[in-house]
Amino acid sequence: IKTRAIPIFEKTHPGMIAVFAFDNSSSHAKLANDTLNAMNMNLNPGGKQPIMRDTIFNGQVQTMVFPSDYFDETLHGKPKGMKIVLQERGLWSLGLKAFCGKNNIILENPSCCARHILAAQEDF
């Protein structure tokens, strides 16, 4: 702006005042790669889902990946998935679907599916 736009404006519009407006709204929705986001998680462990940062739940650290001493070596360092995260929080119900099909996050009953239950959590 300082080295190109302003000098051009001053040359083409002497004595005038310029007002520049910038729309950065597309960057407002950008989240860090490790942000806790239920929309990007699989129901089950592993697979194509991001590695998310650890969080605090009920005063305890909750990791989003399996530790290196986990009994199933194939899951070491892999993302846990929504089911395991909800089980660890005591929020898993048998037969719960990954996603109910409703794309709005704010629902009257956020217990309809794993995605909405997790998205309704304070840290997500």
- The token pair at 76 is 């070491």
What pLDDT digit, counting tens, does each position of 6-46 carry? Answer: 999 899 999 999 998 877 676 666 788 899 999 999 999 99
The tens digit of pLDDT for each residue in 38-86 reads 999 999 999 999 999 999 999 999 999 999 999 999 999 999 999 999 9
> How many residues make up the chain in this entry?
124
Report the predicted TM-score, pTM, of the whole model to 2 decimal places: 0.73
**Which stretches of the chain are assigned E, i.e. beta strand?**
55-57, 60-62
The count of other CB atoms within 10 Å of the CB of residue 81 is 22
